[in-house]
C-alpha cells in the first residue's frame, strides 16, 4: 500500500512537471491565446445578436402600443385605397391645369378683340369678331379705352361758339374765379369780350379743385381762350403773330414748348392773336389732311379757323407788314422769346405757390425763374387743352399695350365662366 501510494505521488509529480513544461512552451501559449480570443469574439457576437433582437422586438411592441388599430389606419395601409387617392389628386391637378389653360385662352381672345376694335376700321373689326364667334353686343367694354370720336365731338362743341350765339356753352358755368386778390390788378380788356359776360365762367378743360392747380389757373385759362378767340376775326384793329415751331437741329420737344410759350407771352403783351404754323413733329402720314405739319394734329388749334385764315391772308398784304398788323418770329430777338417778360395782367400769382425748390435742405419760397415756370405751365395747359381724335387714339394704344391683358383678366373675373358663350 505504501508502494502504491508512493508510486502514485511520483506519477502526479511527473505529470505536473510535464504539464508545467508544456504550458511554458510557445506553441501551447499560442493555442491558449487563440482559444481565449475565440471565446471573446463568440461572446461579443452573441451579445450583439441579442441586443438587435431586443431592439426590434421593443420597437414593434412600442409601435403596436401607440398606433390604434382602427378603420382609418386600415384604409391608409390598404394599397387599393392609396391608388384611388393618387388618381383623385391627379384628376384635380388636371382639372386645375385645364381651367388655367381655358382662362388664358379667354384672356387672349378678349385682348385680341379689343385690339381689333382699337386699331382696325369698323368693318375689319366686325369681320374679326365674326371669325372668332363674337359680336359687338357680346364684347365687354375695355375700361381704359376712351371713345375718341365722341369725346372729340364734345370738345369741339365746347371750343367753339354755339350757333346763333357769340359764346361757347361753358361761359354760363358760373364760379368764384374773380375773388382772388390779384384780380384787382387786371387792366381793362378793350379787345376782349365784355367782361361781364365771361365773368365767373369755368373753362371745362381744367379739372380738380383750385388747390390741385396752380394759383389763378381757371381765370388765366379763361382769359387766354377769350384772347385767342375774338368775336370778329375780320376786325381791322385785330393784330396777329404767326410763328413756326422751332425746327433747329438739337431742339427737343421741351425746347419747342418753351419757345412757343415765349411767343404766346409776346402775343399777350402786344395784344396779338398767336397763330402757330409749321410743326415738324406732325409732318408724317399719321396726321391727315389740313392737320399735316400742324399742332392741330395732336391738340385743338390755338385759335379759331377764321382767325387762322385771316392771319394768312394778311401775310400776303404788304400794307399789313408795313403797319405791323401781322408779325412773325423773326421780328423778335432770341432773348425776347426765351427770356422775355411774362404777362403781368394777373398780378403775381406765383407768389402763392407752395415752395418746391430745395437748396441745402431748405425750401426756397422765391427765385427769379418761378414766375416763368408758372407762366409756361399756364401756356402749355392752354395749348394742350383738348386732345384731338388722333392723340386720343395714341393714348388708347399706349394704355392697351401697358395693361390691356391685366384689364381683360379682371373683366372676365366679373363675367363668370360663361363668356363668350353667352
pLDDT tens string 83-135:
666 666 666 665 566 677 888 888 999 999 999 888 777 888 888 888 888 88
- Confidence bin at 274 (pLDDT 50/70/90): very high
User: 200 and 274, same structural domain?
Assistant: yes
For residues 207 and 8, the model is more confident at: 207
**Phi, psi for 240 (deg, rounded to 5):** -135, 155
* pLDDT at 185 (0 to 100): 38
User: 364 and 319, same structural domain?
Assistant: yes
* pLDDT at 351 (0 to 100): 85
Q: What is the radius of gyration, based on Cα positions, of the chain?
A: 49
Q: Is the pLDDT of residue 170 over 90?
A: no
Average pLDDT, the chain: 79
Cell of 345: 395782367
* pLDDT at 98 (0 to 100): 66
Distances (CA, A) of 63 to 54, 57, 58, 298: 14, 10, 8, 82
The answer to whether residue 133 sits within a structural domain is: yes
Which range scores top for mean pLDDT: 38-47, 209-218, 311-320?
A: 311-320
Q: Is the pLDDT of residue 397 over 70?
A: yes
**Per-residue pLDDT reduced to its tens digit, 194-253:** 443 445 578 999 999 888 899 999 999 999 999 999 989 999 999 999 999 999 988 999
Q: Is the pLDDT of residue 22 over 50?
A: yes
Cβ distance 239 to 271 under 8 Å?
yes
Question: Which has the closest alpha carbon to 349: 325, 373, 333, 328?
Answer: 373
Round to whole Å and give the CA distance between 76 and 62: 20
The answer to whether residue 170 sits within a structural domain is: yes
* pLDDT at 122 (0 to 100): 80
Least reliable range by pLDDT among 31-40, 177-186, 344-353: 177-186
* pLDDT at 128 (0 to 100): 87
Angle of helix 26-66 relative to helix 2-23, nearest 10 degrees, comes to 70
Cell of 94: 388636371
User: 365 and 220, same structural domain?
Assistant: yes
* pLDDT at 260 (0 to 100): 97
Q: Is the pLDDT of residue 74 over 70?
A: no
Cβ distance 374 to 352 under 8 Å?
no
Count: domains in the chain = 2
Question: Which has the closest alpha carbon to 349: 186, 196, 145, 162?
Answer: 186
The answer to whether residue 242 sits within a structural domain is: yes
* pLDDT at 263 (0 to 100): 98
* pLDDT at 241 (0 to 100): 98
- Confidence bin at 178 (pLDDT 50/70/90): very low
The answer to whether residue 409 sits within a structural domain is: yes
Distances (CA, A) of 91 to 75, 208, 381, 417: 21, 55, 60, 20
Q: What integer is the mean pLDDT of 330-355?
A: 91
The answer to whether residue 307 sits within a structural domain is: yes
Percent pLDDT > 70 in the chain is: 69
**Phi, psi for 283 (deg, rounded to 5):** -90, 75
User: 403 and 346, same structural domain?
Assistant: no
User: 301 and 237, same structural domain?
Assistant: yes
Round to whole Å and give the CA distance between 259 and 63: 90
**Phi, psi for 415 (deg, rounded to 5):** -85, -20
Round to whole Å and give the CA distance between 153 and 156: 5
The answer to whether residue 380 sits within a structural domain is: yes
**Per-residue pLDDT reduced to its tens digit, 152-169:** 999 998 998 766 556 777
User: 265 and 401, same structural domain?
Assistant: no
User: 140 and 184, same structural domain?
Assistant: no
- Cα angle at 255 between 375 and 402, to 5 degrees? 95
Least reliable range by pLDDT among 163-172, 362-371, 376-385: 163-172
On whether the pTM is more than 0.85, the answer is: no
User: 338 and 290, same structural domain?
Assistant: yes
Q: What integer is the mean pLDDT of 34-63?
A: 57
Round to whole Å and give the CA distance between 192 and 198: 10
* pLDDT at 163 (0 to 100): 63
For residues 282 and 42, the model is more confident at: 282
Cis before 377? omega within 30: no
Q: Is 232 helix (H, G, I), strand (E, B) or coil?
A: coil
Range of the domain at 231: 161-385
Cβ distance 338 to 262 under 8 Å?
yes
User: 230 and 114, same structural domain?
Assistant: no
User: 364 and 403, same structural domain?
Assistant: no
**Phi, psi for 256 (deg, rounded to 5):** -65, -40
* pLDDT at 23 (0 to 100): 52
* pLDDT at 362 (0 to 100): 85
User: 357 and 246, same structural domain?
Assistant: yes
E-assigned strands of 319-378?
326-328, 357-359, 362-364
Cβ distance 337 to 227 under 8 Å?
no
- Confidence bin at 70 (pLDDT 50/70/90): very low
Cell of 399: 394704355
User: 334 and 218, same structural domain?
Assistant: yes
Q: What integer is the mean pLDDT of 364-385?
A: 90
Instruction: Kindly give, in sequence order, each residue whose CB lies less than 8 Å from that of residue 151, ignoring residues fewer than 6 positions away.
Output: 387, 392
The answer to whether residue 60 sits within a structural domain is: no
E-assigned strands of 69-155?
none
Q: Is the pLDDT of residue 69 over 70?
A: no
* pLDDT at 16 (0 to 100): 57
Amino acid at each position: 500500500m505504501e508502494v502504491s501510494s508512493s508510486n502514485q505521488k511520483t506519477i502526479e509529480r511527473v505529470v505536473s512537471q510535464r504539464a508545467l513544461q508544456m504550458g511554458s512552451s510557445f506553441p501551447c501559449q499560442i493555442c491558449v491565446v487563440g482559444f481565449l480570443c475565440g471565446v471573446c469574439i463568440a461572446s461579443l457576437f452573441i451579445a450583439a445578436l441579442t441586443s438587435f433582437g431586443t431592439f426590434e422586438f421593443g420597437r414593434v411592441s412600442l409601435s403596436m402600443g401607440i398606433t390604434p388599430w382602427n378603420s382609418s389606419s386600415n384604409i391608409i395601409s390598404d394599397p387599393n385605397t392609396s391608388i384611388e387617392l393618387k388618381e383623385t389628386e391627379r384628376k384635380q391637378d388636371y382639372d386645375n391645369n385645364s381651367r388655367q389653360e381655358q382662362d388664358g385662352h379667354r384672356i387672349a381672345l378678349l385682348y385680341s378683340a379689343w385690339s381689333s376694335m382699337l386699331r382696325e376700321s369698323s368693318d375689319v373689326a366686325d369681320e374679326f369678331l365674326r371669325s372668332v364667334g363674337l359680336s359687338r353686343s357680346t364684347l365687354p367694354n375695355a375700361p381704359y379705352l376712351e371713345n375718341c370720336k365722341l369725346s372729340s365731338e364734345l370738345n369741339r362743341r365746347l371750343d367753339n361758339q354755339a350757333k346763333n350765339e357769340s359764346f361757347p356753352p361753358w361761359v354760363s358755368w358760373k364760379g368764384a374765379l374773380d375773388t382772388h386778390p390779384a384780380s384787382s390788378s387786371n387792366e381793362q380788356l378793350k379787345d376782349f369780350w365784355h367782361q361781364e359776360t365771361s365773368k365767373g365762367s369755368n373753362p371745362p378743360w381744367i379739372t380738380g379743385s383750385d388747390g390741385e392747380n396752380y394759383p389763378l389757373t381757371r381765370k388765366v385759362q379763361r382769359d387766354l381762350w377769350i384772347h385767342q378767340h375774338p368775336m370778329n376775326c375780320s376786325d381791322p384793329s385785330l393784330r396777329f403773330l404767326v410763328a413756326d415751331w422751332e425746327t433747329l437741329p438739337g431742339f427737343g420737344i421741351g425746347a419747342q414748348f418753351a419757345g412757343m410759350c415765349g411767343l404766346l407771352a409776346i402775343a399777350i403783351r402786344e395784344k396779338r392773336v398767336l397763330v402757330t404754323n409749321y410743326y415738324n413733329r406732325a409732318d408724317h402720314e399719321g396726321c391727315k389732311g389740313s392737320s399735316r405739319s400742324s399742332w392741330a394734329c395732336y391738340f385743338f388749334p390755338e385759335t379759331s379757323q377764321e382767325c387762322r385764315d385771316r392771319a394768312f391772308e394778311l401775310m400776303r398784304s404788304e400794307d399789313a407788314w408795313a403797319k405791323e398788323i401781322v408779325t412773325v418770329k423773326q421780328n423778335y430777338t432770341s432773348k425776347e422769346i426765351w427770356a422775355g417778360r411774362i404777362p403781368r395782367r394777373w398780378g403775381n400769382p406765383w407768389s402763392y405757390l407752395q415752395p418746391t425748390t430745395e437748396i441745402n435742405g431748405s425750401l426756397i419760397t422765391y427765385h427769379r425763374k418761378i414766375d416763368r415756370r408758372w407762366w409756361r405751365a399756364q401756356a402749355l395747359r392752354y395749348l394742350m387743352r383738348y386732345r384731338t381724335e388722333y392723340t386720343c387714339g395714341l393714348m388708347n394704344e399706349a394704355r392697351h399695350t401697358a395693361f390691356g391683358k391685366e384689364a381683360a383678366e379682371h373683366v372676365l373675373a366679373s363675367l363668370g365662366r360663361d363668356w363668350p358663350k353667352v
